[in-house]
Amino acid sequence: MNLQRVALITPPYHSGVVESAGTWLNVGFVYIAGALREAGFEVDYYDAMALWHDWDEIKQRLEDFRPDVVATTAYTASIVHAVDLLQLAKQVNPEVVTVLGNVHATFCFDELLQADAATIDYIVRGEGEVTLPELLHCLNANDDPAKVRGLVFSCDGQIITTPKRPNIHDLDALPTAWDLVEWPIYKYFAKNDARLAIVSSARGCMSQCSFCSQQLFWEQSWRGRSPENFVAELELLSSRYGVEVAMLADELPTYNRERWEGILDLMIARQVPVKLLMETRVDDILRDADIMDKYRAAGVEHIYVGVEAGDQATLDLFNKETEVSQSKQAIDIINAADIVSETSFVLGMPDDTPESIAETVELAKHYNPDMAFFLAIAPWPYAELYPELEKYVATKDYRKYNLVEPVIKPNNMTMQELERELGKAAQKFYMHKFQNLHELTPWKQEFMKAVLKILVEKSYLGDQMRAMAKGDGKMPEEIKAMLKGSAMNGIQHPIPPLP
């Protein structure tokens, strides 16, 4: 074989969740593209999702680039679109080699290959920077792909699973391909469409959350880049590509306090002009209470911590390894540092009722984050919690596993009732938040006004947000005017109907 041209393409899946806040690049492809290019391959980094391209546009790009290999990536909600993308690639060129990776394929390869072996030539399990170039070199040498670690593929009706590839230890040594990124499309809407990068300072998760995919994917391991290497990358992104805001893709950037504080110190000393958005654990915020001034001085503007549940029994079921009281303490610490605080609550469990959801909303008001989202639990088919929830699963349409649409039917609610209650929960929380907007610092007030505009005009919560303007005497007049004046015209990317 002579495989030289590789197209890395994101599937064009949208749900009105992450894309409501900004346009997010695929940092995994930045690393994969760098590794492929270093190995001698020509690469097209094609973020069809972020570009909002339809199938005709994707087909045209395939015809223009004429790849020998098409590789895509998928979390559970986007897996249907990912397979459709590979089917399209085969239609354009039946000889093209197709590759699928990321978390869903890593765990559900058997289901995928049984259904779509004619479409999916190879599945990469785990990290792909070493596996994918090695696979392509193997194929070009007409050698046996069963020799390549970290693969799954179908051969003569049998599914072949090769031995697991060890995780990459030295993250500092990984090549990147930032120059292939189509930078003008990546924007952070809440900060005047500032140019936005997604970056990675560490890989792994040491938590044991029973509903989550990350601790399974990383096998409860953790590796971090050196502070010098990571901060130098932020400086490069700022000076060469005009990046103003960077979102950390890390599940747990703060795991090693010494390393994390080293990053903050370098950011401060070098006055890196990049603002950081990040997530971390509640207990790491409690641990770092004494250095939150460094977080703020280093440019950390937004921290998400996963509260997930308001009662200890559910937290224990989720294996969060935190106490309910700690969540309030962590959010208070973030707020005291004048950093935007965000959290989420996972709802739609079998025993949930309208009353229990209403209680969660009241708890969210008490916790007082700047932003809170009330998410429908998505029981990933490979998660530890799945066997306990499987009998309540109402649909196997993975496109709905997006944390917006309920896929579990509670014992005492219909799916429609649950969806309605989730929307009402967000409406009640944000109504309370905007009624008390004056309690925030001036910069947070302006930020929250930008958030409201985004929620109204770009998110799946638009109807619920607009309804806040009706007959509420406590809402500030400025906010009422914003809500009443908001209309869907002029939206860059209206959210399509959910599948």
Residue 493 confidence (pLDDT): 46
Residue 213 confidence (pLDDT): 56
Q: Considering the domain 179-381+433-464, what is its CATH architecture?
A: Alpha-Beta Barrel (3.20)
Distances (CA, A) of 18 to 74, 240, 325, 403, 497: 15, 26, 28, 11, 15
**Sign (positive or negative) of CA dihedral 353, 359, 365, 366:** negative
Residue 181 confidence (pLDDT): 97
For range 369-382, the mean pLDDT = 88
Q: Are strands 122-124 and 151-155 parallel, antiparallel or unpaired?
A: antiparallel
pTM over 0.85: yes
For range 313-334, the mean pLDDT = 73
pLDDT at 491 over 80: no
Residue 353 confidence (pLDDT): 94
Asked if 293 contacts 337 with a C-beta cutoff of 8 angstroms, the reply is: yes
Q: Which range is least confidently modeled, 242-251, 322-331, 365-374? A: 322-331
Mean pLDDT of the chain, nearest integer? 89
Residue 464 confidence (pLDDT): 80
Residue 309 confidence (pLDDT): 58
Residue intervals in the chain for CATH 3.40.50.2300: 5-161
pLDDT at 19 over 80: no
Give the model's confidence band at 310: pLDDT under 50 very low, under 70 low, under 90 confident, else very high.
low
For range 371-379, the mean pLDDT = 89
Q: What is the CATH number of domain 5-161?
A: 3.40.50.2300
For range 41-64, the mean pLDDT = 97
DSSP string, 238-294: HHHH---EEEE--S-TTSSHHHHHHHHHHHHHHT---EEEEEE-HHHHHHTGGGHHH
pLDDT tens digits, one per residue of 36-47: 999 999 999 999
- Cβ atoms within 10 Å of 231's Cβ, excluding its own: 23
**Sign (positive or negative) of CA dihedral 16, 31, 43, 68:** negative
Residue 465 confidence (pLDDT): 79
Sequence-distant (≥ 6) Cβ neighbours of residue 97 within 8 angstroms = 1, 3, 68, 69, 70, 121, 122, 136, 139
Residue intervals in the chain for CATH 3.20.20.70: 179-381+433-464
